């Protein structure tokens, strides 16, 4: 049977009318910012203080887009007759985000918690070279990394926190003892001065 003239138009208008009354599911980015999950893979932040230049991330990166340069520095022995100690000092740490495939392997393999995901994604560039983020920029991303989820209330206290608490308690006890001794000394001095004043 041949289609009724104008039936396609009527169907189209019916769809238009139906969807007009429904809530829109599209977001008008960039006027409306998307609501991303906090652990979205946007960009990688570097916490430089934790990096020991072990090179594990650069070696494991499937795209070879992590560039690390370093040099060795030696420090004198802690005690006479001891051995000199050497450590790696970071000269360059860069990630080329034009090559990165956001697999997260570098973050997973870092044994010292120096790399983190940030949900920031607005770093498009018109020049591809600008997508290689050097250490300063990677550090800036660090401040956009969300806090880790809270621990389970029933979980055991992390060893680092327990050690820090113990050290803080010890320091507070030592300070309190010193303060007490000082007060005692001041009291004794005052008493001595009082005795001298009473016996000319």
Interface ranges with ligand SF4 (CB under 6 A): 51-57, 61-63, 65-66, 68, 95, 100-106, 110, 112, 114-115
The secondary structure of the chain, three-state, reads: CCCCCCHHHHHHHHHHHHHHCCCCCCCCCCCCCCCCCCCCCCEEEECHHHCCCCCHHHHHCCCCCEEEEEEEEEECCCCCCCCCEEEEEEEEEEEECCCCCCCCHHHHHCCCCCEEEECCCCCCCCCHHHHEECHHHHHHHHCCCCCCCCCCCCCCCCHHHHHHHHHHHHHHHHHHHHHHHHHHHHHHHHHHHHHHHHCC
**For ligand SF4, the closer CB: 77 or 104:** 104
**For ligand SF4, the closer CB: 102 or 123:** 102
**For ligand SF4, the closer CB: 123 or 188:** 123
Minimum CB distance to ligand SF4, residue 21 (Å): 43
Minimum CB distance to ligand SF4, residue 43 (Å): 10
Q: Which residues are paired to 88 by β-bridges? A: 72
**For ligand SF4, the closer CB: 50 or 193:** 50
**For ligand SF4, the closer CB: 123 or 189:** 123
């Amino acid at each position: 049977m041949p289609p009724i003239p104008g039936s396609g138009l009527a169907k189209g208008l019916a769809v238009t009318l139906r969807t007009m009354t429904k809530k829109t599911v599209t977001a008008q980015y960039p006027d409306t910012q998307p609501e991303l999950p906090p652990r979205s893979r946007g960009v990688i932040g570097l916490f430089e203080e934790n990096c020991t230049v072990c090179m594990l991330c650069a070696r494991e990166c499937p795209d070879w887009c992590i560039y690390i340069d370093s040099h060795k520095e030696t420090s004198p022995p802690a005690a006479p007759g001891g051995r000199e100690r050497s450590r790696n000092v970071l000269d360059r740490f860069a990630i080329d985000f034009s090559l990165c495939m956001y697999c997260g392997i570098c973050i997973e393999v870092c044994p010292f918690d120096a790399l983190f995901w940030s949900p920031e994604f607005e770093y498009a560039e018109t020049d591809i070279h600008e997508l290689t983020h050097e250490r300063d920029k990677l550090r800036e991303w660090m401040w956009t990394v969300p806090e880790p989820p809270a621990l389970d209330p029933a979980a055991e206290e992390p060893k680092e926190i327990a050690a820090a608490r113990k050290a803080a308690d010890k320091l507070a006890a030592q300070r309190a003892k010193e303060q007490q001794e000082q007060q005692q000394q001041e009291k004794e001095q005052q008493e001595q001065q009082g005795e001298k004043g009473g016996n000319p």
